[in-house]
């Protein structure tokens, strides 16, 4: 029994030593060959071959919306409710960023038009993903109404505060 444990321990130590030596020499060999070339060395085994996509963000902060009064459910007392939104639109290049920045009034107006027609309880019960989809559809409709090309890829909600 003791003999088997000692033998297993010796085999494990030998295997670990052999693996360490192979990794050391293979790593040194890879590091010394063509170090100036991109993708050489051991780190190339773990790096991605795909080119990273460039993404630009255009932020629109502090869109304040008075929410439609809802005299049932959460707003039975008739208090006014407000929604504060910060948005970020994604663009693929700097030309798109400039076009988005020039269309910020259209985006703000479309946001207000969509959300002021919704009840407080409806907006409160809508998840962020669904609200993003509604905003994106509203923006696409507004752009189409002015014969403009949509230059952003996505709408991100970075802040959403109810009062």
pLDDT digits (tens, 9 = 90+) for 90-141: 999 999 999 999 999 999 999 999 999 888 888 999 999 999 999 999 999 9
Q: For residue 54, name the pLDDT band (cuts at 50, 70, 90).
A: confident
Q: For residue 75, name the pLDDT band (cuts at 50, 70, 90).
A: very low
CATH of 56-162, picked from 3.30.1130, 3.30.70, 3.30.450, 3.40.1000, is: 3.30.1130
Contacts 24+ apart (CB under 8 A), 90-93: 90/55, 90/56, 90/57, 90/152, 90/153, 90/154, 90/156, 91/55, 91/56, 91/57, 91/58, 91/151, 91/152, 91/153, 92/53, 92/54, 92/55, 92/56, 92/153, 93/54, 93/56
Please state the domain extents for the chain. 2-45, 56-162
- pLDDT of 51 reads 74
Residue 26 has pLDDT above 60, yes or no: no
Q: For residue 145, name the pLDDT band (cuts at 50, 70, 90).
A: very high
């Amino acid at each position: 029994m003791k003999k088997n444990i000692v033998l297993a321990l010796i085999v494990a130590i030998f295997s670990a030593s052999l693996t360490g030596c192979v990794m050391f020499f293979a790593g040194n060999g890879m590091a010394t060959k063509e170090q100036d070339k991109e993708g050489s060395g051991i780190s190339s085994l773990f790096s991605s071959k795909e080119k990273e996509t460039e993404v630009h963000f255009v932020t629109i902060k502090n869109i304040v919306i008075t929410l439609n009064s809802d005299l049932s459910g959460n707003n039975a007392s008739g208090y006014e409710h407000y929604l504060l939104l910060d948005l970020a639109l994604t663009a693929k290049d700097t030309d798109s960023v400039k076009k988005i920045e020039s269309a910020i009034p259209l985006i703000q107006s479309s946001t207000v038009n969509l959300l002021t027609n919704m009840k407080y309880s409806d907006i409160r019960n809508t998840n962020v993903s669904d609200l993003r989809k509604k905003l994106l559809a509203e923006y696409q409709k507004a752009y189409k109404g002015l014969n403009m090309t949509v230059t952003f890829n996505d709408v991100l909600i970075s802040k959403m505060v109810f009062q």
